[in-house]
């Protein structure tokens, strides 16, 4: 069994954003030389997500609006977590909706994807350096 590990670094300039990281994940897969196996892509921070969906800006605006409805940022005082001086409790909630990680099949050296699947980094508390982990196991 072979394994491969790579960190992807981000410094999102806004509080929230979605970034298509499929090209970086594909590059890691090529570098791994693994042909059959599984690839794990996960946020290493607990106020961010990695998820798979469509690369469509309208949809991403819908996600942004919907997540603000389900777990609003304001008023920040509504969350106990923010009593410690933080203002990012909502980011911890949003991340649970969108998920921490994805696991993707590797077949014939490629991400084994359906027609529209793309991998996104979802930032919910940006304006600082944060990481995503890519781990690949297989042969």
Q: How far is the CB of 90 from a copy of itself (least distance, A)?
A: 9
Residue whose CB is less far from a copy of itself, 26 or 46 = 46
Between CA 82 and CA 124 the distance in angstroms is: 15
107 near a copy of itself, rule: CB under 8 A: yes
Question: Binding of a copy of itself at residue 119 (CB under 8 A)?
Answer: no
The CB-side HSE value for 4 (13 A sphere, CA atoms) comes to 22
Tell me if 36 contacts a copy of itself by CB under 8 A: yes
Angstrom distance (rounded) from CA 26 to CA 30 = 6
Strands (E), the chain: 2-11, 17-20, 37-43, 48-53, 101-107, 110-111, 118-123, 129-138
Q: Quick check: 43 binds a copy of itself (CB under 8 A)?
A: yes
Q: At which residue do the structure tokens 């570098």 appear?
A: 31
Restricting to residues 56-95, which ones interact with a copy of itself according to CB under 8 A? 56, 58-59, 61-63, 66, 70-71, 79-84, 89, 92-93, 95
CA distance 43 to 98: 11
Span of 10-18, 21-29, 32-40 interacting with a copy of itself by CB under 8 A? 32-40
The size of the interface with a copy of itself (CB under 8 A), counted in residues, is 58
**Residue in 6, 17, 1 with CA at minimum distance from that of residue 120:** 17
Q: Is 54 in the site for a copy of itself (CB under 8 A)?
A: yes
* Binding span for a copy of itself by CB under 8 A among 11-19, 21-29, 33-41: 33-41
Least distance in angstroms from the C-beta of 87 to a copy of itself: 13
């Amino acid at each position: 069994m072979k394994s491969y590990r790579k960190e992807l670094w981000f410094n999102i300039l806004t509080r929230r954003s979605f970034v298509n990281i499929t090209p970086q994940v594909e590059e890691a897969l090529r570098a791994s030389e693994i042909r059959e196996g599984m690839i794990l892509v996960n946020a290493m921070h607990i106020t961010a997500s990695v998820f798979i969906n469509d690369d469509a800006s309208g949809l991403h605006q819908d996600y942004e609006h919907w997540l603000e409805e389900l777990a609003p940022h304001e008023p920040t005082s509504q969350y106990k977590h923010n009593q410690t001086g933080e203002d990012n409790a909502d980011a911890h909630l949003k991340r649970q909706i969108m998920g921490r990680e994805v696991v993707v099949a590797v077949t014939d050296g490629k991400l084994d994807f359906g027609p529209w699947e793309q991998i996104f980094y979802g930032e919910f508390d940006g304006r600082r350096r944060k990481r995503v982990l890519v781990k690949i196991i297989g042969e």
